[in-house]
Amino acid sequence: MSFDVENPPVEPPDECQHRLLWRLARALWEAHRPDSAGFCVVAGCWHTNQRDPCRLAQLAQDGMRTACGEATPASPPWIAVTRERLAAGDIDPVDAVAEALWHHRHTPRAGR
């Protein structure tokens, strides 16, 4: 991975294959990343080991890895949640179209 899972960039990195999934996982990371005292910065839940992220922060890291093409145990649920949120209209259609166009431009095609 070209990004640090302990300090991921806000915008998806170049190798990101699922930009909307990145944004969902990155938002979860933002809520659960540990502060210097070992609490989630937004949610306020305690991290049992200050050096390790809580379960939800770890899930967020798996989501960002999944978005960049790495298989993790959490990959199938992350992909399912992204699809469900798109189908339910929870994700802005403009973002969904931008994602589709991005894939169209960045997916290799036979004969190209």
Q: What is the pLDDT of residue 84?
A: 83
Of the candidates 94, 26, 14, the residue with the CA atom closest to the CA atom of residue 59:
26
Per-residue pLDDT of the chain (112 residues; tens, 9 = 90+): 678 888 899 999 988 988 888 988 998 898 888 777 777 777 666 666 656 677 888 889 999 999 999 988 888 888 888 788 778 877 666 666 666 666 556 555 555 4
Q: What is the pLDDT of residue 81?
A: 80
Q: What is the pLDDT of residue 63?
A: 92
SS3 13: coil
Residue 72 near residue 62 (C-beta atoms within 8 A) = yes
The whole model's pTM is what?
0.70
First to last CA, the chain: 27
